[in-house]
Structures are given as C-alpha cells and as structure tokens.
Amino acid sequence: MALKFVRAAVTVAGLTLATGATASECIAPANPGGGWDFTCRQVGKSLQDLGLIDSTMQVVNLAGGGGGVAYAEVVNKRMEEDELIVAASAATATRLAQGAYPGNTMDEVRWLATIGADYGVVAVAADSAVQTLPELLDQIKSDPTSVSVAGGSAVGGWDHLKVLIAANAYGIDDVRSVKYIAFDGGGEAVTQLLAGSVQAFTGDISEAKGFVDSGDIRVVAILSPERLGGDFADFPTAKEQGVDVIGANWRGFYAPGGMSDEAYDGWVAKIAELYASDTWKEVMANNGLAPLDLQGADFEAFVADSVAQIQQISKEIGIIK
Amino acid sequence: MSDRIFGAVGLLIAIVYAWATLQIEESFLSDAVGPKTFPLGIAVILGLASIAIALKPDSEPEWPSLGRLAEILAAVVVMVLYAEFLPVVGFLIATAFATTYLTWRLDTPPLQAVLIGTLTSGGIYVVFKLILGLSLASGPFGF
Amino acid sequence: MDIFTNLADGFATALTFQNLALALLGTFLGTMMGALPGLGPANGVAILIPLAFTLGLGATPSLILLTSVYYGAMYGGRISSILLNIPGDEPAMMTCLDGHPMALKGRAGEALSLSGVASFVGAFLATWGLILLAPQLVKFALLFGPAEYFALFALAFATLGGVSSTNQAKSAFAAMLGLGLAVIGVDTQTGVPRLTFGEVHLYDGLDFLVAIVGLFALSEVFIFLEHRHGSADAGKSAATKIGRITPSWSMLKATTPTMLRSSALGFIAGVLPGAGASLGSFISYSFEKRLKDRDGTFGKGDPRGVAAPEAGNNAAAGGALVPMLALGVPGSGTTAVLLAVLLSLNITPGPLLFQNNADVVWGLIAALFIANFMLLAMNIPMVGLFTRLLMVPPRILMPIVAMVSFVGIYGISGSSFDLLVMIGFGVMGWVLRKLDVPLVPIILGTLLGNTMENNMRRAVTIANGDYGTLVGSPLAISLWAVAIIGFVLPLFVGRLVKARMHARRDTESSTSD
C-alpha cells in the first residue's frame, strides 16, 4: 500500500512539475468551483491547448468581498504586472457601480476582453396560467404581493436588477414593490419555482435550460437583443413582446492598471484569437454561453456604459444614494 | 468565580452585539423581516444564556500559572507574526521559523527543533505545493 | 430489471484498468485530504479538477476520479478526529465526541476500523438509495419550501442540548455565538453589510473552515503549550497503546442497528439541498444518543457514538448526489464543485440527466460502489499505519498540526486575514474549553446560521410579512413537533438518567459495548 502511495504521489508530483513552470497567472476572486474560478481554469486550459501560452496558466484563488478583495489586491499591490489577468463578470460591474468595493472604481484597472455572455431569462412553472412577459408584469402591476420572483443573486444583484429593469420598462412606477426573493444560486431558485413556493424565476439561460428541456418550466422571455439560435430559438425575446430590456451576464477579464501597452495588446490579441477559435465555440456551446465579442477599447466603453446604467437604476430604486 | 465573570462578559458581548446590530444601515429595499430581526433574537438568547451561566456557575476550572499564560501569549504573537510575514518572506522560511519556535517551546532541544522545523516546512511544501498544487506564498526567492 | 441492466452497463464502463487506477488514486488522495485539518472534501475535489483536465480525461473517468476523492475525504475526516481530537473536515466534528475518548482509552485501532466499517455501510446504503429512490426523493425534496427548511434547522438546534455538555446554558451560549458569527457579512437578502465594521475581508462572512480549524486544531496546540505536554510522552500513555486494530464481532453486531438507523437519517439529510453532510452526522449522533444512551456512556467513548456519525455523514454524502444529479441543485459545498465539473464536461444535471446521459450516470454510480469497496479495503489494513501517528511525540506532532492548519487555510483563500481570524478562533477555543463550553454548537451555528435565517426571511417575505407561514404546512408542523419533543423530553429524561447514574456509579466500571 505504501509503495502504491509513493508511486501515485510521484506521478501526480511529476505532472504538476512538468506543467508547473508558470509564466502567467489568473486570479479567480472566489473559492475554487465558482463561476470566476471556472472562467480562469477553462480559459487557461484553452489558451494552452491552442498554443497561445507556453506553459500552464496558474490559477490563484483570492476570495472575499464578492471580488472586492482581489480587486483591492490588484490595485494596491500588483499594479505593474504584465503577466496577470483577473476573471470578472457582470457581477463585478454591478458591485463597482454600487460602490460595493469600498474605495475602488472601474477605471483603476484595464479591461481586457469578454469571452461570452449568458442572457437573462424570466420563467414560470409549466402549469402556470401566465404565458407571456406582459401577462406576468400586469399581474405584478395590479397586485405586487401576489407574485414572488425568485433569483439566485442577492437583493440589488444582477438577477434582481433584470426584473426591475423589465418592470421599469413596462411602466411599473414603484419598482420597489416587486417582491423579489433571493436564493443561494439559480438552481435553488428554480427548485423553489417547481416546489410552488414562488411564482416566477429570474436567472441566466444556462441555469434554466435543463428544466425547460424536461418540460418543468416555461421561459416567458429571454432578455437578448434578438432570438438565439439552436435549442433556444423558441424563447421569445422581451423586446418582441414590447418590453425593451436587454440583460447579459458577460464573462471576461481585467488586468492591472499599470500593465504596459505592449502586454495589454498581447493579452487582448490572445483572448481575441481564443474567442475566434473552434475550441472556444465548442466550450461556449457546452456551457450555454451566447456570443458577446468585445475587446480592448470596445470592452472598456462597454463596462463604463453598463456601470453608468446600473448606477442610474440603483439610484432610482434606492439601493444606493 | 470564573463562570460569573464569563457570564458577565457574555452579557456584555450580547449588549454590544445588539448595539452593533442596531447600527446596521437598512437599505430602502428591505424584505418583510429586515436584516436586524434575526441578530436581535440571537442577542437576546445570548444574553439570557449568559445570565443563566452567571447565576448557576459550574465548578472552577484550573487556570494556568502566569508563566504558562505568558507562554501561550508568546505563541499567539509568533503565529500572528507568521501570518503577517508569510506573504513577505515566502512560505518555506516563515514556516521553518514558526515550527522551530513551537517545537522548541514544547521542550525539544534547540538544535533538534531547528531540524524538525526545516523538515516540517519542506515536507508540507512538497505535499501541498508539489503534490496537491495549491498556491502557497512565494516570497522574494520564489518559495 | 431495468436497473440491473443499467448498473451492469455502468460497471462495464467503470471497470477498465485506467478507471480503477483513477479510483485508487482518488480514494487515496481524498483520504489524505480529508484527514488534513483545513482541507475538506469540497476543496479536495476543487484542487484535483486541474489534474483531471491536465490528464485530458473524458467525462466518466473525470467523474470517477473526483467522486473517489469526495468519498475518500468523507472517510478520511474521521482519522484526525479520533487520533487528535481535531476534525479533519466539518462533518467529522461529531466523530470527535466519542472517537477521541476511545483513543484515550487505548482503543484507537478499534475506533478507526469501526468507523471505517460504519462509513462503508453508510455510503453503500446511500448509493443504493440513490439508484432506487432518486425520482421519488426529488419529489420529497420539493416538499421543502423555505418555511420547512427553517423548521428543520430549528429541529437541529433543539436537539443540541442532548449532544454536548451538562450545562444547557453553555450549549445555548455556544449555539448563539455560532449563529451570531454567521450573521457577519453582506446580508444576502438586502445587500447591506452587517457587523463588518467596514472591513472588506468580512463582506463574504467568516469561512466556517477557518472557524473549525481555529477552534479545534489551534486550541489543542495551546492546551499542549499550557501543560507543556511536549516532553512528557507519558502524559498520553494510554493513547499510545493502540489496542486491537479490528473491531470484535460482538461490537460490530452491537453497532449494526446504529449504523442502519444512522444511514437512513443521514441519507435523508443529504437529499435535502442545503442541509448536507454535517447535518447528517449531527442528527444521526443526537438521535442515537437520544434513543440509546441509557447509561450516559455517550461522549465517553461509546462505539455507537463513533458508528452513528460516520454512517450518517457518509450516507449524507451519497444523498447529496440526488438533488445534484436530478435537480442541478448542490446540497453541499462539495456537490457545488462537482456540479461545476459536470457543466464543464458538457453534462447538464437536471431532470433529464438520467435519460440524456444514462451512461455517465450509471458509470458514476458504479464508480461509487467501486470507490467504496476500495476505501474499505484500504482503510482497514491501514489502521495500523494511521495509529502510528500517536507514536510521534506531541512536541513534534502539535507544531506540525498547527502549520498544516495554517497552510490548509492559506492555500485555499490566499489571505493573511483569514489566518489572523483563525488565530482569534484558536484563542477563543482555548478559553471556551477551559470554561467547559462545548465547541460543536458554535460550528453548527456558523454552518447553518445563514441558511436558517435566509429561509425564515424568504418564507415570511413570500407570505407578505405573515409569520404564521412558518407553521403553515403539515410538514412544517410535524417538524416543529419533533423539535419541541426533542427539546422538552430530555429535560425530564435527563434527570432520570442522572439519578440512575448516581445510583450505580460506585458499583460499575463502564464497559460500553
């Protein structure tokens, strides 16, 4: 038994050593297993598979403050590094907009590129009488206490904001009256929809897909600019139902603010090449990621826009002053 | 006597806890219960339990002598220094020092303690960094 | 039978040389990580994900490797609980209560092998439960809305008094301390920070791993420093006697009903998302103690107190796979990580998984059986090896334990702040142990606090502020009834037992099996 252990240990150690000569590093601002961790690992692996980086990208988990600890670490201590990227998503922008990273703002780092987006959906249980988004919003309008909407993010988080933006666009004046119940993740929220505890679900398309396929829930609206392809073609957009809302949970990276232009352009080019590759198309298809192709200056502008938009909505509904 | 002091401290903690709870700034967007109800309930039960402890104390525990207490305090200081210096000097050096100190204070001859400290530090490095692939603090020399 | 054809296909997938080697590697690494304080099953699985990717494994082999790690870690946690009185991971916390006293009595070998067998029974039955009952269990889990979850957690706390020390007020104090610590961080219901004092590190709340390692492992180090036990190898002379390393048949026979009961309870706790293995082992232990502790031997090295939590937590580990596979809802931290792996392997867990990816599911189930048998085969002979650990003099062992704790925490969070919090917990643990305050309720409180509060608030918010909803369904009412009985009954029975113990204390020396 002991001999076997030694052999196993040596095998593993060998593997780690062989791939362990690291040049680049990716910070996942959460514990292993979450979305950001996954972004780092999946991109790191694909970059290496494609030969865009020479050695394995080292993934470092720096959890805390919903990404705030990592953000502060990069801004305060690692501003000048060229071989460092950090995973980010719409949640990062939301928190920055709401001032949830105390003392930090979005222009302290350089935004690199996106690797795809997860569009928001609004869904009801299959046996619900509600068929369309306007029907649901009408119900909320006439009696807000009768509809509980479940989502996987905290109050004021992205899943919540999506519903509020939709309600706002539909002409519900006091969006604060919309009853939102926060659960620990989209899966738990869908389960409570099935259990009948709540009447509607707001989340990302990837969270809802399995339950749509099985016929347990019905998507009343997808918050994308136009209908998606493939399996998702049946979902009506909010826009075509007269509610002008787009909600995309993008995934991407930022880099230290002091990164040299040369290194910054290098990373942007690498991620752009990754995004264009067939390997990545497959990863996106597997994970329910929809296309969102923004790099360099375009991405910087996009983040700035969404921060401004979230700030405005958050002020309107009173989450921030 | 210890339990009476413990109960009093517990009551103080409960009061401070309740006070800190009341300082929570509620947002405009609250749920039906609010963020304060649950912690206030905790503070109340915490206070009641503390009063019960103070009123019905158990038999006196055996407290260490002042010397031993200083020993523990010194260990805490070393551990705090370890936590602070870990990212600065790197894992191997910091761990070797901290282990050597603890081993020495547990009555190991100094030379042997240094040896054990070095071996422990190296051993943990092999298991955690090389076998399990965790990222440990790397310090100025890369280890 | 459909099931058996499927299962046979599953075994055909799983029984290749490569897969068996992966299962062996996974179970070994898992056991090791489970035994190291600070690294639990969740981190263990997460740490090995890159290995699965680096090796370029397909879906089934990856899952075999990672679930072997999962089951292995559930086995491994008990080792340090029994030998060092330091739980290797949070579900193994309950195993300390009777496992370590057994070791102190020179029965470490028996405790280890008995707990190995109990782990096997729990995991084995849970895997069958997963096969036979998964569809029905999903319906059962759907009966639990926020109000029912709140009642379930209240039940866990109501039975606390029976588990730990004699002084009920101190148990209550500890539980509230744990719940109070869980409140720290950004409130998930309204997004406001609570009790963080503007410290960004506290926004995500305190990690219960930090709490458990500090409270148990570091406080143990302080206790050694206090007594300067280091040189005195004789100080723990009883512990260095290992005793026999296999449990006697009579002991196995005596604990069989315990294992069966605990497996069932643990499995149910595992199936409910959010409850998880810790609740499984906790409920198993407290239920067993309620039911069988006639002579007050629990907590003093009763073999049934070792068998119950181990069967319970391993059964819960199997149970937690039910909601993960069938609903895509992780029932515990570990299954959350496994879920991420499944997604990255292009497998969408959910109601259609059993139809769309039947080969993967049955291969996984076969792998669970294989890993389980492997763990039993590996753990029993290695008991002798593990117990050698006790031969290492504490003056060397304790600093190593302290350092491993530090590294375990730092390696995962990469934060010095967490280390400082851990030291704080260590000092607190030392003081509380001196004052005879039980530590288990603190951990239970930090583990369950957030879920408990959130479910209460969700329920009341859904009902538009009506607290009556908390007792609004037959299931909720029955859970409350059990909780109240569990709280009130021991107040009377406890007195009875104490009286009886007084009567026989002089005449009887305790032999517990």
A109 and A124: one domain?
Answer: no
pLDDT in tens, C248-285: 888 888 899 999 999 999 998 888 776 677 888 888 89
Q: Best residue in C226, C434, C466 to probe B by mutation, most B CBs within 10 Å?
A: C226
The answer to whether residue A273 sits within a structural domain is: yes
Q: B: neighbours with 3+ CB pairs under 8 Å?
A: A, C
Q: How many CB pairs under 8 A join A and B?
A: 30
Q: Which of residues 69-108 of B touch C (CB under 8 A)?
A: 71-72, 75-76, 79-80, 82-84, 86-87, 91, 95, 98-99, 102-103, 105-108
Q: Which of residues 83-122 of A touch C (CB under 8 A)?
A: 98, 100-102
A292 and A218: one domain?
Answer: no
Q: Residue A235: give the domain boundaries.
A: 119-241
On the CB side of C257, CA atoms within 13 Å amount to 6
A64 and A169: one domain?
Answer: no
A93 and A142: one domain?
Answer: no
Q: Best residue in A11, A12, A31, A149 to probe B by mutation, most B CBs within 10 Å?
A: A12
Q: Is the pLDDT of residue A175 over 70?
A: yes
The answer to whether residue A17 sits within a structural domain is: no
Distance between A179 CA and the closest CA of chain B, angstroms: 8
- Asked if C178 and C441 count as a contact pair (C-beta separation under 8 A), the reply is yes
On chain C, the residues whose CB falls within 8 A of the CB of A190 are: 327-329
CATH of the domain at A308: 3.40.190.150
A111 and A256: one domain?
Answer: yes
- pLDDT score of A230: 76
Q: How many CB pairs under 8 A join A and C?
A: 182
The DSSP H or E segment spanning A204 is strand A200-204
Look at B25 and C118; give whichever has higher pLDDT.
C118
How sure is the predictor about A10, in pLDDT bands with cuts at 50, 70 and 90?
Answer: very low
The answer to whether residue A190 sits within a structural domain is: yes
Q: Is the pLDDT of residue B66 over 60?
A: yes
Q: What's the Rg (C-alpha) of chain A? A: 21
A113 and A125: one domain?
Answer: no
* pLDDT average, residue stretch A204-222: 86
pLDDT in tens, B106-126: 888 999 999 999 999 998 888
A129 and A90: one domain?
Answer: no
Domain boundary among A209, A241, A273: A241
Residue contact C225–B24, C-beta within 8 A: no
A200 and A125: one domain?
Answer: yes
The answer to whether residue A155 sits within a structural domain is: yes
Domain definitions of chain B by residue range: 2-55, 66-131
CATH of the domain at A135: 3.40.190.10
Average pLDDT over all residues of chain C: 82
The answer to whether residue A35 sits within a structural domain is: yes
A108 and A57: one domain?
Answer: yes
Among candidate residues A259, A246, A262, A255, the one with its CA nearest the CA of residue A299: A255
In this complex, is the C-beta atom of A267 within 8 Å of any C-beta atom belonging to chain C? no
In this complex, is the C-beta atom of B134 within 8 Å of any C-beta atom belonging to chain A? no
* The token pair that represents C289 in the structure block: 């103690």
End-to-end CA distance of chain A: 64
Q: Which alpha helices (DSSP H) does A78-196 contain, by range?
A: 90-97, 133-142, 158-169, 186-194
> Which residues partner with A182 through β-bridges?
A151
pLDDT in tens, C46-105: 777 767 766 777 778 888 888 899 889 888 888 888 988 888 777 888 899 899 999 888
Q: Is the pLDDT of residue A141 over 60?
A: yes
In this complex, is the C-beta atom of B77 within 8 Å of any C-beta atom belonging to chain A? no
Beta-strand pair A25-28/A58-61: parallel
Residue contact B29–A58, C-beta within 8 A: no
A68 and A79: one domain?
Answer: yes
- Asked if C362 and C13 count as a contact pair (C-beta separation under 8 A), the reply is yes
The answer to whether residue A288 sits within a structural domain is: yes
- pLDDT score of C502: 58
- Asked if A131 and A123 count as a contact pair (C-beta separation under 8 A), the reply is no
Look at C356 and B11; give whichever has higher pLDDT.
B11
The answer to whether residue A5 sits within a structural domain is: no
Nearest to B46 among C47, C180, C465 (CB): C180
Q: 0.90 exceeded by the pTM?
A: no
Distance between C345 CA and the closest CA of chain A, angstroms: 8
- pLDDT score of C331: 66
On the CB side of A319, CA atoms within 13 Å amount to 27
Average pLDDT over all residues of chain A: 83
In this complex, is the C-beta atom of A158 within 8 Å of any C-beta atom belonging to chain C? no
Domain boundary among A241, A270, A290: A241
pLDDT in tens, C391-438: 788 888 888 888 888 888 887 777 889 899 999 999 999 999 899 888
| ipTM of the prediction | 0.93
Number of structural domains chain A divides into = 2
Distance between C142 CA and the closest CA of chain A, angstroms: 5
Residue contact C180–B17, C-beta within 8 A: yes
Residue contact A210–C328, C-beta within 8 A: yes
* Three-state SS at A87: strand
A183 and A84: one domain?
Answer: no
Q: How many CB pairs under 8 A join B and C?
A: 201
